Amino acid sequence: MRTFALVRPALSLLILLTVVTGVAYPLAVTGLAQALFPRQANGSLVERAGKPVGSSLIGQDFSDAKYFWARPSATAPMPDNGTASGGSNLGPSNPALTDAARQRIAALHAADPGNTQPVPVDLVSASGSGLDPEISPAAADYQLDRVARSRGLSPQRVRELIAANTTGRQFGLLGEPRVNVLLLNLALDRIVAH
């Protein structure tokens, strides 16, 4: 009987905390998120013709010359695998990191042999999550001529699309300007479709 008297408060506290932290808190946070930020709470999905084609928060693998390419992804077994988020974990002194960067630079030069611009670092290095949906304006500019040629568009028209899909620093001072690759490629598809 004395043992039950000692265990009863512990069991009561376990049940109470389970209800509060395992049921009430998640429901409250989910409800607030749905009420205040419904688009973000539902994955920031991007739709085309009423069907989801991706999320503006998760990188996608584009390899066709007519599309802008995102940062390389270190996820396995395929690039931009949302279920396997993570970086390569290769340190700067690891020769595999240097080899991967050289291969990526060679692939970029092979895709656009006439491009003599310096290759932006974000086109040859994977992000920490492996799912980065954005590139720098310099990385978009590096790919501009290839995409314009592949689509039969003027470089100026593609440059305008890059500018329209560039997001500035958050609050004017945090981070760097960036271009969402999925949104830019969908904008290109809309132009060519008309």
List per-block mean pLDDT (blocks of 10 residues) for the chain, which spans 194 residues. 81 94 95 92 86 86 91 77 73 88 92 93 84 92 95 94 93 91 94 66
Tokens of 170: 């958050």
The predicted-structure confidence for 31-48, as pLDDT tens digits, reads as follows 999 999 998 888 888 888
Given this model, what pLDDT does residue 46 score?
Answer: 87
Burial letters for 22-59: b for 16+ Cβ neighbours within 10 Å, e otherwise?
A: eeeeeeeeeeeeeeeeeeeeeeeebeeeeeeebbbbbb
Q: What integer pLDDT is reported at residue 1 of this predicted model?
A: 61
pLDDT at 140: 96
Residue 85: the pLDDT is: 75
Determine the pLDDT at residue 120.
94
| pLDDT at res. 20 | 95
DSSP letter, residue 178:
E
Domain limits, the chain: 1-42, 44-193
